[in-house]
Amino acid sequence: MAWLLLLPAAVLLAAFTYVPALGSALASLYSTPHGARPARFVGLDNYAAMAADPVFWRALQNSVVYAAGTVPLAIGLALAMALLVNGSAPGRGLLRTAFFLPTVLPMIAVANIWLFFFTQDYGLVDQLLGLAGVPPRNWLGGPHTVLGCMMAVAVWKEAGFFMIFYLAALQTIPPNLREAAAIDGDRRFYVFRRVTLPLLMPTTVFVAVNALINAFRLVDHVIVMTNGGPDNASNLLLYYVYEVAFKFWDTSYAAALTLVLLVILATLAFTQFAVLDRRTHCR
């Protein structure tokens, strides 16, 4: 009965995850067919070309920096918002709605909103900074600022979604634990660090893995806001896969890039589970 109940999910997972992954692995060993010229077996040539591709290494570096910046910020902001709206403060329902609202907006709409925010001279960012005497600048056109702008968009979009998980976890913590610590005279930060945070670790594992995967798969705002520019400064690995496959029509090289991306994500996810899960169950 258990296997029968798992069968629909297993079929969907195999059909839309494992079979396409195996297909990409197989396609990466062949050349891209062009017109009447069929695909031919080239072995690891696509991977050799990838190792010598400077755009790939730039996109990989950008993706790592992007993930390292967005994941901790999104998790920290989500936890802070959950703590803020978990109590009985007046207007908490309105705050929850405001924090969660960016999550329900399509990423295309979010990108267009922030595209206006970052517009030089007329955008909200330059208008606010201008009040402090900061001169306007081209935020999305500068190679040193564009990736940070993309991070801000992703954190604003995702933090409210992760807040829901932390809020649910906070509401399952028995109140008597915090009350006992308060009776013992422990400070609020000590109670949070020694009681609340350890009990939130299973949720943190789940949120961290999802945040990391999202950091490598979000490309909608890149397409709308920068197209990977300037000079590949905001080019992320998944956007480069899209660009190679659907702009350059090199599907075999795109398959090799996809397989490398899958390996990177699987390695990072397993590492996160191993490290965080050990901390979750340590006593």
Contact assessment for residue 48 and residue 31, using Cβ atoms and an 8 Å cutoff: no
pLDDT tens digits for range 160-170: 999 999 999 98
| Confidence band of 283 (pLDDT split at 50, 70, 90) | very low
All domains in the chain, ordered by first residue: 42-252 (1.10.3720.10)
Q: Which two tokens stand for residue 267?
A: 């390695």
Cα 18 to Cα 14, 15, 25, 145: the distances in Å are 5, 7, 11, 38
CA–CA distance, 58 with 246 (Å, rounded to integer):
19
Q: Calculate ∠ Cα 170-172-175, nearest 5°.
A: 85
Strand runs (DSSP E) across the chain, as ranges?
Answer: none
Q: Which two tokens stand for residue 53?
A: 């591709």
DSSP state of 18: I
CA–CA distance, 230 with 71 (Å, rounded to integer):
24
Q: Which two tokens stand for residue 68?
A: 């390292």
Q: Which two tokens stand for residue 232?
A: 């590949």
CA–CA distance, 70 with 155 (Å, rounded to integer):
6
Three-state secondary structure string covering 242-269: HHHHHCCCCHHHHHHHHHHHHHHHHHHH
pLDDT tens digits for range 116-150: 999 888 888 999 998 888 898 899 998 999 999 99
Q: Which of 39-53, 62-76, 153-167, 179-193 is predicted least confidently?
A: 179-193
| Confidence band of 196 (pLDDT split at 50, 70, 90) | confident
Q: Enumerate residues 6+ apart whose C-beta is below 8 A from 54.
A: none
pLDDT tens digits for range 70-98: 999 999 999 999 988 887 667 778 888 88
